[in-house]
Structure 1
Amino acid sequence: MTQSCDCNCQPVQRYLTVSQVAERIGYTPKTLYNWRGLHKGPPAVLLDGSLRYESIRLEAWIKNNVVPA
């Protein structure tokens, strides 16, 4: 699923896979699964039995969880 806008930018994929999110935030898929069991990490949903992350909610989570260097 993708979302688009009227500009010439690339469409945004609405739901991301565990692997895509792991690559985006620099952790392993296993860490994301572990976080899910601990009720931490980015919010996720089950779609047709597969764990997915809504891109807008992921970006909000990243923004709210960045630690300044």
Structure 2
Amino acid sequence: MDNVTPGYFGKGKKLRSTKEVAAYLGVAIQTVYNWRHQRKGPDYVMVGGKPMYEDEAIDRYLDNNRVYLSA
């Protein structure tokens, strides 16, 4: 495991911390904590006792919360 890149899990899956997710989505870290407590927001996996977020889960969350405007 000498060539393992930190932050990657499985085959090229990037895992983001709560802080990284908050920055990526442009919300406060507390908002991500609140979503998790309320069982809202992106799906996550627990790694070493810490919630970590896959990019695919973040994209899915964004797609599921998209507001379509009629033309």
> What range is the shorter-chain TM-score in?
0.7 to 0.9
- TM-score after normalising by structure 2: 0.72
- Corresponding pairs, count: 60
TM superposition shift of 1:68: 4.3
Q: Distance in 2 between matches of 1:49 and 1:31?
A: 20
TM superposition shift of 1:46: 1.1
TM superposition shift of 1:66: 2.2
Task: Give a deviation string over 1:16-57, Cα, whole Å, max 9, x none.
Answer: 111111011111111111111111111112100111101111
Is the 1:15–1:55 contact (alpha carbons within 8 Å) kept by the matching residues of 2? yes
Unmatched runs of 5 consecutive residues or more in structure 1: 4-12
Partner of 1:65: 65
CA RMSD of aligned residues (A): 1.6
Q: Secondary structure at the match of 1:66?
A: coil
Runs of 4+ in 1 over 2 A off after TM superposition: 66-69
